[in-house]
Structure 1
Amino acid sequence: MASSLIEPIFSDEEDAAEYGFDMLREKREGPVVVAIDIGTTFSGYALSFSSDKYAIFAMKTTDPNRPRSGRQSTKVPTTLLLKPDCSFHSFGHQALVHYNRELDESEQKEWLYFERFKMKLHSQKKLTRQTPVSAANGRELPVGTIFAHALRHFRNTALAECKVYAGAELKDTDVQWVVTVPAIWDGGAKQTMREAAYAAGLASEMKPEAVQIALEPESASIYCKSLKRIGRSSEDAQYVCEAFMEGSTYLLADLGGGTADVTVHKVSSTGKMKERHRATGGAWGGTYVDQNFVKLLESIFTKDWIRSYRDENPGDWVDLMTVKFETSKRLASANSTMYVEFPHSFHDFVRESGSSIERCISSAKNPNLKFSRGSLAMKYAEVRKLFNSVLDNIVVHLKSVIKKVGGVNYIILVGGFATSQLLQTRIRDDFEKSLKLRVIIPPESSLAVVMGAVLFGHDPTQISSRCCRYSYGTDYIDTRSVKRDWKFQTYVKKNQEIGLNDKVTHTFRPLYAEQTKCKFGVYESDSENPVMINEPDVREVASFVLPMPDTRKGLDRKIFTTMLFGLTEIAVESLDETSGKQIGGNVQLDFLS
């Protein structure tokens, strides 16, 4: 719904400046920062104390699948298990093991097992608070509820670890929480994460500053910049240092399980990073290799057969894809055979249909496939087919961004998918050999986001400016037109560079003398110069209500509305000049209504 205000009286900040709007949320000075990174495939957290912020502790857990190995992992699978009454049971390895090994088939159909639910926030065009996510048994819950369970799990685990390190119980005010999100997410997805953080007890609407939203590629940039201080080193360490010298421009690609998140930064004279190109990317993560593998299985055993196996053996299907194939995918390298072990139930299911795995593979008449010791053996030519469509999309996009921006000196790859040897080989071939650009894979690249997010929590000003992904504005009535058209009042334009403290103020007045409140629509547009709110590329993305209780001056009232776009979330404040008081503190934009 459009607002009930006429056109702006003016479009500068001179009058509003005297009221001293400060849009930056109060920085908490707690002794510890805890960052939580919920990924499409794997998740984890890290923390550090303000007394030594570069001494970052990443979570460590033992994989129940290999308890005797003694090896600890710094991330766990993004798998959530809820009891039939929808109460929390477990997350990560514990959820995976309990669902696969402890529950029988009838119980698996009652319990709610969720995996890779993060992509719902990227793929859904219009999110609401009721946007559903399906469990393995088909039951649905709101996506925000799923994220709240995951965040609450990490909150409780991290607080227990903080207590060990600190030697004392920590109060809520002692912790600055940071939750990471892809930079290409829209406002609705970010708001879903913030509200999930409130539900999980990380913060509240009354104390929103307790949790910060950090953009994943920015966090990774901060990590790379701080490698020496963190104490990480690798063969590429020298080039990482060069990439963060004054004047250097680098492209950073955060390649995760679900998305490729790409940004370009230039290092300023102060050492801080300025965004040179708005965040871009797409659904080109490692899970799309998984989808190609499923299609390969369907070509061997038929689509209906695979669907039946998944329905009747949900636990073993999860084990096949999340454990067995995921491990083989990360280890796959050029010119080598890739092996994926079949679960025992897979063999039994094929036998019940009167055949065998070996016979089915042979019948497929694919010279690149064979059955070997209980596993599907794929020659490199077939493995490339699984990866090629995803890698092609990534390469084409990186080349497009580099051509558009110009002056890029380095490419930095981070994220879980960046650990793939096949991906690294392809990127080096296309950019180092052909375009003479240095490709850098920093040490512990899969932890770059969560460890950088910790440092972001200590100092959120390290990214000094950002480029807007869209044009943003509000609606107003143009009383000068005969039709009294609803127009787009621009606050920032697409691709416009916005600094941390940059703000835009517009002033409005009421349409009716007795008007006591007004609803504003917030709009985004792919155009740099939108005019009308009903244009095809204009979308209403949020709304907020401004109260105007004092009507004594009738139409002669001013409402100052200020928007700040330089943070990771859009912030809005409003002031009623008649009363001289700020109304409602920070106005909460609602992208989910």
Structure 2
Amino acid sequence: MSLSEVRIIVAIDFGTTYSGFAYVHKESKDMETNCTWPDREGVFKTPTALQYDETYTKVVSWGEAALVDEFEDWEDYESQHTRPIEYFKLHISDLHKTEKPWLPAELTYIKAIQDYLQQMKILIKETLNTRWPGVKFPEQVGLVLTIPAEWPPNTTAIMRKCAFGAGLLTSQNSSQLEFTTEPEAAALYCLNIVKDYNLLPGDSFLIADCGGGTIDLTMRKLLPDNKLSEITERVGDLCGGTFVDKEFLNFLGRNVGFQALEALKKNNYGQLQGLIRKFFCVRVKHRFSGDSKEFKVVRLNLQQFCPDLAKYVTNNIKSDLESKGWVIKIDFETVKLMFDPVINKIIKLISDHLKSTNEKCSIMFLVGGFSESKYLLRQVKEHFKDENMQIAVPSSPITAVVRGAITYGLNVEIVNDRILKWTYGISVVNPHVPGRDPKKRRTPDGYIQKFHLLATRGSNTEVKKKFFGKFVPLRFDQPTILFNVYYTHKKGGAKYCDEPGMKFLGSLNINNPMKYNKAGTIEFSLTFGLMEIKATACNSETKKPYKEVTFKINF
């Protein structure tokens, strides 16, 4: 069952720090964004956090309920609870393994994602049955999942596996699930309001999706039939709002000692969490506008927000803090230095993106939770004041991605084309040619393995367009033929599948159709128009596909 056949569309914005969902009945098309969560009402998102039992096998609580706020007896709480699992989505990214968030040895990131989506599924099912009693879930429900723009192409395969394991799909390969990138979904949300900004067909606009973990950019052109065309390669980076929190912790470490801070994190994680969420975010981060005249020095009482920190602080640092009553003063310049490394990175990302095209950008939309930062908006406006474009934060920017994903689910054809993020090809074996091919790459039987280009990064491709090549088996008597697919950031010049930057994506294995009939060739193709990559093989003359095979993605 595809999205066109279901009754209800649900979109899930599975974020690094916060997640949300929206839904719509296809007959009424009245979109609703969920604002009811465990332990919290009236907000559009809940923390992407899990609280497990002591064996990390059963979810005890999730979302807001998984995080500590304020407890009269911290020791009693921390003796009965495991450390919450947060930021586990980042394990899909290309971050170096040393930079990826902590996970206990008993838990994989795939299980954590699946467990979180399972909790979302329970709430979604209850919500839909409240609105439309008797709806069959998941049989009558289509699903759209959003993913970051910059993440590797196997992200969709990982999320599909997790969605099925969570009970959101009837089968793992179900066509009731589609993907869209976070900035593309945000662009579709803004498509509904472009008339408010006097945009006309042919005009281009930039979407900067500023989330908690990632910043994703895409530039789109408005087409005459109210469709969108992608005109630059979408980009992103890990420089969202949580990295300001990280700068705050660096500041704290310099004042109390990094060893003491690490001990607090290890032994009293709830207190550190409460310090960030209840003190820094509420009293500092959300209020900071960048205007020194309206800023008032903030006093951080360490004994109030993290009472156990004192027992980890040593030597001169402890004496100094005792003399100050365990109070740290935070002035304007200190807060500015927490924001600037993150915001400067965002501004450079935007600047480079605008320079990557000759298209004139009419307006820049800032969406996502971090877009509500007054200082971020102030700095972006200041830096791009001479670009002759509008800069706007639309209403409810935190819901832009999930509501745009609903728009996509209602009509996937609204996206006319996309720019390829990677260069793709397959591994082929050719006869080794002395003098042309490196001698060290010659196999004992006189062959050489090379990278055969199918599609180049930066290419504009219409939805469902195929990139293909024609091939014959190395030996006609071999029982099967294996197509190994690789990808790289390089736009051109890739020759071998083991060169730096080249990564294995997956494989398609078919029975050798030419074992008894050596005539003809095999057409192997990749389709990139939709977010998931489809690999197929067929007879190059009749176009008849070979017996059903599965493209196995590597992760």
Tell me if 1:446 matches 2:398.
yes
Contact 1:250–1:409 (CA under 8 A) maintained in structure 2: yes
State the distance in 2 between where 1:577 and 1:546 align. 17
Cα deviation, residue 102, structure 1: 9.0
1:524 aligns with 2:502: no
Amino acid at match of 1:176: G
* Partners of 2:310 and 2:318 within 8 A in 1: no
Alpha-carbon distance between aligned partners in 1 of 2:431 and 2:45, rounded to the nearest angstrom: 57
Counterpart selection for 1:59 from 34, 39, 42: 34
Question: Residue in 2 aligned with 1:158?
Answer: 124
Residue 111 of structure 1, aligned match among 82, 98, 106: 82
Which AA in structure 2 matches 1:292? E
Pairwise mapping of residues 569-580 of structure 1 onto structure 2 (< 5 A)?
A: 569-576=532-539
**Aligned residue number for residue 20 of structure 1:** none
Secondary structure at the counterpart of residue 286 of structure 2: helix
Q: Which of 332, 341, 346 does residue 288 from structure 2 map onto? A: 332
For the structure 1 residues 121 and 173, does the alpha-carbon distance in structure 2 shift closer, same or farther, using more than 3 Å as the test? same
Partners in 1 of 2:321 and 2:49 — Cα distance?
31
How far residue 162 of structure 1 moved from its aligned partner, in angstroms, is: 0.6
Q: Kindly indicate whether the alpha-carbon contact (under 8 Å) linking 1:99 and 1:315 is maintained by their aligned counterparts in 2.
A: no
Partner of 1:74 in structure 2?
A: 44
Q: CA separation of 1:413/1:515 partners in 2, compared to 1, >3 Å: closer, same or farther?
A: same
Q: CA deviation at 1:272?
A: 1.0
Instruction: Return the letter of the residue paired with 2:417.
Output: S
Relative distance call for 1:586 and 1:105 in structure 2 (3 A) is: farther
Find the aligned partners of 2:281 and 2:418 in 1 and give their Cα distance.
35
1:449-493 Cα offsets, whole Å, 9 max, x none, are 011111111111222111111211112122373443222222111
Which residue identity is paired with 1:398? Answer: I
Residue 312 to residue 331, structure 1, CA distance change in 2 (3 Å): same
- 1:387 counterpart (333, 339, 342): 339
- Per the TM alignment, residue 553 of structure 1 is displaced from its structure 2 partner at its CA by 3.0
1:479-490 to 2 correspondences below 5 Å? 479=431, 481-482=433-434, 483=442, 484-490=447-453
**What are the Cα deviations for residues 273-329 of structure 1, in whole angstroms up to 9, with x where unaligned?**
111111112111111111110110011111111112222211111221234323331
Aligned AA (2:236): G
1:92 aligns with 2:68: no
How many residue pairs match? The answer is 537
Q: CA deviation at 1:206?
A: 5.2
Counterpart check, 1:186 vs 2:148: no
SS in 2 for 1:490: strand
Question: How do 1:113-152 and structure 2 match up within 5 A?
Answer: 113-124=84-95, 134-135=102-103, 138-152=104-118
The one-letter amino acid paired with 1:405 is T
2-side partners of 1:310 and 1:105: how far apart? Answer: 17
In 2, the alpha carbon distance for the partners of 1:388 and 1:583 equals: 56
Matching of residue 173 in structure 1 with residue 139 in structure 2? yes
- 1:45 paired with 2:21, answer yes
Secondary structure of the corresponding residue to residue 278 of structure 1 = coil
Do residues 276 (structure 1) and 231 (structure 2) align?
yes
CA contact (8 A) 1:247 1:266 kept: yes
Q: Which residue of 2 aligns with 1:436?
A: 388
Aligned-partner SS, 1:573: strand
Q: What stretches of structure 2 of length at least 5 have no aligned partner? A: 435-441
Q: Tell me, in whole angstroms, the C-alpha distance in 2 between the residues paired with 1:343 and 1:473.
A: 58
User: SS of 1:391's equivalent?
Assistant: helix
Bigger Cα displacement from structure 2, 175-184 vs 205-214: 205-214
| Distance change >3 Å, CA 488–CA 123, structure 1 → 2 | closer
Q: Distance in 1 between matches of 2:189 and 2:504?
A: 32
Tell me which residue corresponds to 2:306. 346
1:194-273 matched pairs, under 5 angstroms:
194-203=160-169, 205=171, 207-227=173-193, 238-239=196-197, 242-243=198-199, 245-273=200-228
- Whether 1:29 and 2:29 are equivalent positions in the alignment is no
In the TM superposition, residue 528 of structure 1 has moved relative to its aligned partner by: 2.4
Q: Structure 1 residues 98 and 579 mapped into 2: Cα distance closer, same or farther (>3 Å)?
A: farther
Alignment partners' CA distance in 2, 1:102 and 1:458:
49
Name 2:437's counterpart in structure 1.
none
- Picking from 410, 427, 432, the partner of 1:458 is 410
Query: For 1:584 and 1:386, how far apart are their aligned partners in 2?
Result: 58
Q: Separation in 1 of the partners of 2:105 and 2:296?
A: 38
The aligned counterpart of 1:22 is: none
Alignment of 1:529-568 (within 5 A): 529-534=492-497, 536-568=499-531
Counterpart residue type for residue 383 of structure 2: D
Using a 3 Å threshold, how does the CA distance of structure 1 residues 98 and 359 change in structure 2: closer, same or farther? closer
Cα distance change of structure 1 residues 353 and 375 upon mapping to structure 2, 3 Å threshold: closer
1:587: Cα distance to partner? 3.4
1:376-415 mapped onto 2 (5 Å cutoff): 376-406=328-358, 407-415=360-368
> Deviation at 1:109?
7.5
TM-score normalized by the length of structure 2: 0.88
1:350 aligned partner, one-letter code: A
Counterparts of 1:321 and 1:75 in 2: how far apart (Å)? Answer: 18
CA distance in 2, matches of 1:577, 1:195: 32
Question: Which gives a bigger RCO, structure 1 or 2 (Cα 8 Å, sep 6+)?
Answer: 1
